Structure 1
């Protein structure tokens, strides 16, 4: 490049590229970033001195785009893409190696590439912030919804306790007075139904954190192994292999033994139900500073995206009618909340679900 006209032409191309990249980023759809990043690499192709042979490549996080004829053996300029001050990718512009050398690049082109890499990093940062805010908002909405459901459920449970106790008590009195066996059988059916209803009320009170607890320091691993042993027949019926990993056999936390058993029973039983025959379930117990993590993973169909926020709601179930009351996970959520812990579910790889329970030790 020898003439002022040529130099001016290159500066115009560079400024045009920066303007186009900025416009692409401002108008980006965060849910379709591939299209925006592809548009950026083609802007770069047009901005270089020998644009007819210029090719570009961009990789950041899970995104990877390039112009049609890009080859990794080209003579290249490279600029790293930083996201929150951590290198997460790179953007590369290259010339054919048999025709050009590094001396054919302009100093200004490296500056342009660095600026574009900076803009891309800022774009990815904004997307991650937006995604994080969306996740936090969904969690808060779910927590609020479950809190309201808990208050309603507690009220319903308290209101039902008295009439159920009356039904059960008077049925028992009548059983003692009646001699007709058919009437006694009918009264037994009434009592059985009342007892069943009382168990439902008890589960509702677990969800609403209304059940009394016997909190003490307990060893967690014996509880886990006890539940696994109890569920042995169910595992064998579906030929499921359960793999358990304990980071420390002496892990302790403060909790109610019966309620912790109920949490483990429900989560593992759920994993068994949704696992295919000859499947694998993994149970891991890990320790971090001040917390105990419990991870239960299956390889079932997983939780559909549209149902992810409903799994802890009472009476919600994807099981056929008669196979589940929809109270298992809501009870689990209530118990964990009353232990000042948290529970979340994530997708397993290649398929299935991982439930992660986080208990404070004290």
Structure 2
């Protein structure tokens, strides 16, 4: 009766021996295994049953067996340990399961055999609620910020609106503290490199001592063996290098993001100058992908450098606004492709996304100031208007082709060398008759 109860519990329960072979799985696990494995799962290594996360599971199980302490993994750290689906009880909708996992050490009182018991809890509903609350909180913050800015900016000139949009998109605060962030990143990175070298030397010393253990007397031999086992030397040796490498990689990614944000956000007072479009696009992809990780980003350019004469601030802002719109148009999964080509004395920039597209009735209004289809508080309707003005100041053209539920292509064409100093004039007026749009 107890075994039936455990088998029917709405949580996953699995038992693994010290060889990482599966001894028992309850119905929660069995129902989610392929049919051909359900009857013959016993004595099968857990890494074979769930090979996708085999390395992670083996590390956690080894830690439990060696240290004889529980191990926990929560969905915020690793959302999908096992490749399971979670079904909504009413709608039947299936989504990837968010999971909390706990591994406990257990011991057979009769045989003395040690096991690890895996408890797996489906927390998809809680995770969805938590994320919904996060989105709601962010939406409320954006709405409050938007209202505060609108009250201050309604009777300002268009140049002030452009600067306000830049502040909202790139984050002046982040640009201002980038230098302060880089200082601790620098010494932490140096310390990690030194720590890696120290760890390598210590491991070499320990391995050298162990290789000569047979030359010591029996008492000293036993003491050294006990010292290695009590401090779990093999586990430390296996994990320490990988942990240092993972920390170094993460620190490098943080450094790259901060550096790109600083370079992208800095205002330049020199006016018209040479702008490398390829560098700007690479910086832009780094920044946007850090904030919007759902789409897959691709940069297509056969040339190493594509230069134009222009004002870098407005050009960067225009491209960023278009890229943010593309990222926000993709809800769950999709692709954003940014390409740069030279065509005679002009540069063609295309931004393609596989998002929700633009309805035909809205296509002719997308460049109008304050026009937005986003919920109230989630957008001011200035992004494409600001982009159009910046491109027009550089004597360029911007066109949009879109089909609802299929995607959107934004094409920007700017001359490499403007014919006069119009790029210095931030007060250019948007003329609706000048807007070029196409519907696919």
TM-score scaled to structure 2, two decimals?
Answer: 0.35
**Larger radius of gyration, structure 1 or 2?**
1
